[in-house]
Amino acid sequence: MPKAELHLHIEGTLEPELAFALAARNGVTLPYATEDELRAAYSFSDLQSFLDLYYALMAVLRTEDDFAELADAYLARARQQGVRHAEIFFDPQAHTARGVPIGTVIGGLSRALEAAPERHGITTRLIMCFLRDESAESALETFEAARPHLDRITAVGLDSAEVGHPPSKFREVYRLAREAGLKCVAHAGEEGPPAYVWEALDILGVDRIDHGVRCLEDEALVARLVADQVPLTVCPLSNVRLRVVDQLADHPLPAMLDAGLLVTVNSDDPAYFGGYVQDNFTALRDALHLDEETQRTLARNSFHASFLDEEVRAAYL
């Protein structure tokens, strides 16, 4: 089934095999002896316990070639899973903080993304995320550092540790991004409360909400999201691995669809959460008995919610 993936952190596609290969190439020592030992550490109690490992493993990403190889490996896997269009997050601050220039990150990712239509049959967009547990000033500095590269960036996003870091903290940088003609998205309502979803809508002016599963706790918020048909990029296997839900059978996705929300299915950090996007669809089908029709609706929603040009988008609907 052709689909678009709209919630995918490129750093979250770093498979253990590539991590060890890059570590060897770059002379980086990992605190794990083998790939299996690393994989055994993928048991998370919450978002923060995942983020600690996720940021630590990024130490292996150093050169433009590393970022290009990472993105190309994702695109090859994504195509096998039916992805025709991918809107890809990256976390510049996680790399610049380690001394990797932002131009190296964007240059490497763009090289793979520009080759993707011909090489993999996938169109792409790039979304630059700010780390919400870093300061508002750091986000502003990052945006200014990215200015020479904005022709390669479609949107800004907000990710990392959610609770205690409300969207309103990033009002100014989102204003600048909108002024520069970029689209806006933000993670909200993953571990954080419905109030953060309201802030993302009303203060940041986002075009989509990433996750948003906790919106169901607030009836008025659901009504607003339905009325405006704000897309929610839901990540079912991620929600299970990060203990946002106990098990897939308890996932609120069916209730979200029943409420009339514009839901899409995505993989978030597939190297860490046990599956790429089709694996998420298959797991949902098995655990929640989603029928063919519902799966087709979710795939259609993914194109509808994308930042593709209108004519291209219409051809998929």
- Binding-site annotation: residue ranges for Zn(2+): 7, 9, 187, 268
DSSP annotation of 245: S
Residues 152-181 that bind ligand ADE (CB under 6 A): 159-160
Q: Which residue number, 73 or 308, has a Cβ lying nearer to ligand ADE?
A: 73
Q: Does 13 bind ligand ADE (CB under 6 A)?
A: no
**Cα 82 from Cα 59, distance rounded (Å):** 30
How many DSSP H helices and E strands does the chain contain? 16, 8
Best CA proximity match to 256, nearest among 271, 241, 239, 270: 239
Question: Residue 48 corresponds to which amino acid?
Answer: Q
List, in order, residues 6 or more apart from 204 with CB less than 8 Å away: 158, 167, 170, 171, 174, 184, 186
Residue 72: contacted member of ligand ADE, Zn ion, none (CB under 5 to 8 Å, by partner type)? none
Q: Which residue number, 66 or 268, has a Cβ lying nearer to ligand ADE?
A: 268
One of 69, 134, 190, 199 is an active-site residue; which one? 190
Minimum CB distance to ligand ADE, residue 119 (Å):
25
Residue facing ligand ADE at closest CB distance: 159
Residue 160: contacted member of Zn ion, ligand ADE, none (CB under 5 to 8 Å, by partner type)? ligand ADE
Q: Tell me whether residue 219 is one of the annotated catalytic residues.
A: no
Token pair for residue 297?
Answer: 């609706």
Q: Does 47 bind ligand ADE (CB under 6 A)?
A: yes
Check: CB of residue 119 under 8 Å from CB of residue 75: yes
Question: Taking CB under 6 A as the rule, which mask of x and - marks residues 184-223 in contact with ligand ADE?
Answer: ---x--x---------------------------------
Question: Residue 271 corresponds to which amino acid?
Answer: A
**Cα 141 from Cα 137, distance rounded (Å):** 6
**Cα 55 from Cα 11, distance rounded (Å):** 9
Q: Does 162 bind Zn ion (CB under 5 A)?
A: no
Minimum CB distance to ligand ADE, residue 8 (Å):
9
Q: Is 19 exposed, middle or buried (0-12, 13-18, 19+ CB in 10 A)?
A: buried
Residue 190: contacted member of Zn ion, ligand ADE, none (CB under 5 to 8 Å, by partner type)? ligand ADE
* Residues engaged in binding ligand ADE (CB under 6 A): 9, 12, 47, 159-160, 187, 190, 238, 268-269
